[in-house]
Amino acid sequence: MARGRVKLAYITNDATRKATYKKRKKGLMKKASELSTLCDVEACVVIFSSTSDSQPEVWPSTVATHRMLSNFKMMPAIEQSNRTMTQESLVKKRIAKVEEQLKKLHEENRKKELTQVMFQNLGGNYLNNVKEEDLNDLSWLIDQNLNIIDNKLHMRIESFVLQEK
């Protein structure tokens, strides 16, 4: 970058970091836009910045990003592999680890729920302050999740059928 190399490390100075963030965020999204145009690919960028009002910043748009991310989630996380797993114990270790993670997630979720209840009880007029389109958005998201689950069901059923052959 200009006028001096930048050490690739966290910028401790608040003002500098914020300025850099703003510039580079713009640059990143421009690059994404260009790639998308030049090569005709769908792309999205999501940035979670504690600075920016706790809402993620996205390119190209919230709705488009949601749509793409749904696709992403529907993609099979399981890649076909011919590698045979020789060590069953390894799998068991993994499973134990996963179960630990699940426990944490459940705890986290519970906390979030409680926070939400609390938040919504702050005032009685919650729904009165919701835009129709946002409600729409919410319905849309739920639909998407249904799709994802459906997809996984089918994947599993297919696996099952194939397994039986």
Partner DNA sequence: GAATCTATGTATAACGA
Partner DNA sequence: TTCGTTATACATAGATT
| Amino acid (1-letter code) at residue 69 | L
Identify any residues that bridge with 58 across adjacent strands, giving them in sequence order.
46
CB of 21 to its own copies, least distance (A): 4
Angle, CA of 159, 74 and 28, to the nearest 5°: 145
CB of 3 to its own copies, least distance (A): 16
Number of residues that bind its own copies (CB under 8 A): 116
The answer to whether residue 13 forms part of the interface with its own copies (CB under 8 A) is no
CB of 88 to DNA, least distance (A): 36
Pick out residues in 2-21 that bind DNA (CB under 7 A). 2-6, 14-16, 18-20
Pick out residues in 117-146 that bind its own copies (CB under 8 A). 117-122, 124-132, 134-146
- For helices 132-164 and 62-74, the axis angle rounded to 10 degrees is 10
Kindly state the helix (H) or strand (E) to which residue 95 belongs, with its residue range: helix 88-120
Compute the distance between CA of residue 46 and CA of residue 22 in angstroms, rounded to an integer. Answer: 14
Residue placing its CB nearer to its own copies in the complex, 2 or 125: 125
Residue placing its CB nearer to its own copies in the complex, 4 or 88: 88
Compute the distance between CA of residue 133 and CA of residue 154 in angstroms, rounded to an integer. Answer: 31
Task: Choose the one of its own copies, DNA, none that binds residue 60, judging by a C-beta under 5 to 8 angstroms depending on kind.
Answer: none
| Amino acid (1-letter code) at residue 43 | A
Q: Which residues bind DNA (CB under 7 A)?
A: 1-6, 14-16, 18-20, 22-24, 26-28, 30-31
